[in-house]
Amino acid sequence: MSIDWITVVAQIANFLVLVWLLKRFLYRPILDGIDAREAEITRRMSEARKAQEKAQAAEAGYRKQQARLLADQDAMIEQALSATENERDTLLAAARAKLEQEQKEWHKHLERERHKFTAQLQRAGEETLLELTRKALHDLADDTLEEAIVRHVSKQLQVIAGELSHAAGDSTEAVASTRDALPEAARLRMQAEVEKLLPGMTLRFATDPQQAPGLILRVGGAQVAWTIDSYTDEFDALLDERTSARVSGRMQNDNG
Amino acid sequence: MQITPDEVIVFTIWGLDVNATIVNTWIVMALLVGISRIITRNLRADVPPGRWRTALEVIVTAIQSQIEEITEKSARHVMYFAGTLFLFIALSNLLLVIPAFSPPTSSLSTTTALALSVLVAVPLFGVAKKGVRRYLKSYIEPSVVMLPFNIIGEFSRGISLAIRLYGNVMSGAVIAAILLSIAPFFFPVVMNMLGLLTGLIQAYIFGILAAVYISTATADPEPSAHKEDYL
C-alpha cells in the first residue's frame, strides 16, 4: 500500500476538471432546465389562474345578466298579464254594452212591433166595429152610420151650443171633418143643425184619411166629436189587460 | 498479485508514466461527461423530459435535496463539489463489475487525492463564506487551547476519508480476487453484487461527509456542533 504522489496530483487535477465538466454539462443544464420548466409551469399556472378568474368573472356577468333577463321576463309577463286583463275587461265591457244596446234595441223593436201590431189590431177593431155598427144600424133601424153620427153630434151640439158660440169668438166658419166623405143627406142635416144652433156660422166639410172613423166639428178653439176611438181605446185596454195576464201566467208556468 | 492499479503503467508520455489509475479515471470521466452531454445537449423548457433526462434529473435533484438537508439552504457550489465526488466514486465502484477494470477508487492515490481535495475545499469554502479572519477564528473556539486539537481534527478527517474509501473498495477488490482464485464460478458473483452495494454506500458516505465538512466550515458554530455530534 503506497501513495504515488504524481498520481495524487494528477487525480486532483482530474477531479477538478471533472467538477468543472459536470458543472457545465450536467448540473447547470439539468438545474436550469428544471428551473425553466418550473417557471414555465408557474407561468402556465398563472395564466390558467387568470383565465379561471376571467372565466369566473364572465360567469358572474352572465349569471347577473341571466338574473336581469329573468327579472325582465317576469316584469314583461306581469305587464302582459295586466294588459291582457285590461283588454279582457275592456272587451267584456264592450260586449256587455253591445249586448245591452242590442237588448235595448230588441226591446225597442219589440215595443215598435207591439205598437204596430196594436195599431193594426186597433185599426182592424175599428173597421170591424164600424162594419158591425153599420150593419146593426141598417138591420135594426134601417139607418146609416153616418146619419146616426150626425144625429149624435147634433144632440151634443144642442147641449153645448152656447159654449161653442162663446168659444167661436170672431170665427164664422165651422169645419166638419170625417175620414170619408159624408153622404149628401148627412151633409144637409149637419148643415141645417149648424145654421139653426150657430146662426151666421158657415159649415165646411173636410176629409182626413188619418182621422178615426166618426165626425169632428171644430168651431174656433172648441170642437164636438164622436169617433170610434173611445170604443177602440176600451177595446185596446181590454186586449192589453188580457195579454198581460196571459204573459204573466206563462212566465209563472215557466218558473214553476 | 496487483492490489493497486498505480503499478500498471499503460503508457509513457514525456517521460511520465501514465498508470491504469489515471487512464481508468479518464474513462470514468469520459463516461460521466459523455452521458451528461448527450442527454442535456438539446434541453427545452416547453418539451417534456424523456426517460434519460428524467433519470438524470432524479439523480441531480436527489443530490440537491441531500445537500440542502445538510446545509439547510440551496448551495450549488457545495453540490457541484460533493455531487461530483459521489458520481465519480459511485460510477468507479459500479465499474468494478467489468472484468479487468480496476476502479480508480481502489487506488490509495485516488482516495488520497479526493481526501486532499476535500481537505483543501473545506477551508476554501469556509473562507469564501465567512472571510479569512472569521474562519481562522473558528480554530481557536471555544478557546485558544483547542487550536491544536482543531487542526489535528481537520487533518484526521481527511485521512479518515481517504483510508475509509480506499479500505472499503480495496478490500472488496482483494476479497474478490482471493475468492476468484478459490471458487471462480460462485463467489465472484456474490462478491461483485456485494461490491456494488458497498461501492454505492461508500460513494454516498464520501459525498455526504464532504458536504457535512463543508457545511460545518461555512455554518454558524451552534448548528455545526450539532452536525458533528450527529456524525
pLDDT for B225 equals 45
Q: Give the DSSP letter of residue A128.
A: H
A29 and B40 in contact by Cβ < 8 A?
Answer: yes
Give B220's pLDDT tier (boundaries 50, 70, 90). Answer: low
B210: nearest Cα among B33, B96, B65, B66: B66
CA angle A176, A178, A181 (to 5 degrees): 100
Question: Is A129 domain-assigned?
Answer: no
What is residue B159's predicted lDDT score, i.e. its pLDDT? Answer: 76
Alpha carbon distances (Å) from A205 to A151, A154, A181, A225, B86:
16, 15, 8, 14, 163
Give B187 or A201, the one with higher predicted confidence.
A201
Q: Is A46 a domain residue?
A: no
B contacts of A12 (beta carbons < 8 Å) = 113, 116-117
Which whole-number Å values give the CA distances from A42 to A35, A97, B45, in the listed order? 10, 80, 12
Q: Band the pLDDT of B226: cuts 50, 70, 90.
A: very low
Reply yes or no on whether the pLDDT at B161 is more than 90. Answer: no
Is the per-residue pLDDT at B104 higher than 80?
yes
Out of A22-31, A122-131, A205-214, A240-249, least confident range: A240-249
Lowest mean pLDDT among A74-78, B1-5, B67-71, B191-195: B1-5
Residue B175 in grid coordinates: 476479497
Per-residue pLDDT averaged across B118-128, rounded?
86
Cell of A137: 144600424
Residue A58 falls inside a structural domain: no
Percent of chain A with pLDDT over 70: 94
Residue from A5, A18, A34, A44 to probe the interface with B (highest B Cβ count within 10 Å): A18
Taking all residues of chain B, what is their mean pLDDT, rounded to a whole number? 81
pLDDT, residue A43, reads 92
A53 Cα to chain B: minimum distance (Å): 24
Report the pLDDT value the prediction gives residue A248, as an integer from 0 to 100.
Answer: 62
Q: How many structural domains compose chain A?
A: 1
CB pairs under 8 A between A and B: 120
Mean pLDDT, residues B174-198 taken together: 74
pLDDT at residue B227 above 60?
no
Kindly state the average pLDDT of the residues B68-93: 87
Cell numbers found for residue B18: 501514465
pLDDT of amino acid B224: 45
pLDDT of residue A251: 57
Does residue B44 carry a pLDDT above 50? Answer: yes
Handedness of CA A210, A212, A217, A220 (dihedral sign): negative
More confident residue, A195 or A246: A195
Percent of chain B with pLDDT strictly greater than 70: 85
Q: Is residue A210 part of a domain?
A: yes
* Pairing relationship of beta strands A202-207 and B16-19 according to DSSP bridges: unpaired
Residue A11 lies in a domain: no
Considering only CA atoms, which of B91, B148, B90, B156 is closest in space to residue B118?
B156
A150, A215 contact by CB (below 8 A) = yes
| Number of helical (H) and strand (E) elements in chain A, helices listed first | 6, 4
Q: What is the DSSP letter of A4?
A: -
Query: How many Å apart are CA A38 and CA A208, to the nearest integer?
Result: 128
Q: How far is A44 from chain B (nearest CA, A)?
A: 11
pLDDT of residue B228: 43
Average pLDDT over residues A172-191: 85
Q: Which pLDDT score, from 0 to 100, does residue A252 have?
A: 65
Query: Quick check: B54 pLDDT over 80?
Result: yes
pLDDT at residue A168 greater than cutoff 80: no
Contact of B169 with chain A, judged by CB distance below 8 Å, is answered with: no
The grid cell for B138 is: 473558528
The parent domain of residue A176 ranges over: 144-244
What are A220-255's pLDDT values in tens digits? 778 877 787 777 777 777 777 876 776 566 556 665
- pLDDT class for A155, splitting at 50, 70, 90? confident
- For residue B2, pLDDT over 70 is answered with no
Smallest CA–CA distance, residue B222 to chain A, in Å, is: 30
- Residue A216: partners with Cβ closer than 8 Å, 6 or more residues away: A176, A177, A178, A223, A224, A225, A227
* A20 occurs within a structural domain: no
Q: What is the CATH number of the domain that holds A152?
A: 3.30.360
- Separation between Cα atoms, residue B148 and residue B153, nearest integer Å: 8
In a domain, A154, yes or no: yes
Per-residue cell: A209 = 184619411
Q: Do the Cβ atoms of B113 and A18 come within 8 Å?
A: no
Nearest to B25 among A5, A11, A23 (CB): A11
Q: Cα–Cα distances in Å, from B85 out to A12, A195, B102?
A: 11, 175, 18
The DSSP element (H or E) to which B11 belongs, if any, is strand B9-13
Quick check: is A13 in a domain? no
Average pLDDT, chain A: 85
Domain span including residue B218: 5-230
Closest CA to A122 of A8, A227, A253, A9: A227
Closest by Cα among B129, B156, B144, B157 to B218: B129
Query: In this structure, are residues B21 and B107 in contact, taking their beta carbons and an 8 Å threshold?
Result: yes
pLDDT at A64 over 90: yes
Residue B225: CB atoms within 10 A of its CB come to 14
What per-residue confidence (pLDDT) applies to B222? 54
Is the peptide bond preceding residue A209 cis, with omega within 30 degrees of 0? no
**A137-173 b/e (C-beta count within 10 Å ≥ 16 → b):** beeeeeebbbbbbbbebbeebeeebeebbeebeeeee
- Are the C-beta atoms of residues B25 and B104 closer than 8 Å to each other? yes
Q: What is the ipTM of this complex?
A: 0.84
Q: What is the pLDDT of residue A102?
A: 92
Strands (DSSP E) found in chain A? 173-178, 202-207, 214-219, 222-227
| Highest mean predicted confidence (pLDDT) among A58-62, B19-23, B48-52 | A58-62
pLDDT digits (tens, 9 = 90+) for A74-132: 999 999 999 999 999 999 999 999 999 999 999 999 888 888 887 787 778 777 877 88
Count: domains in chain B: 1
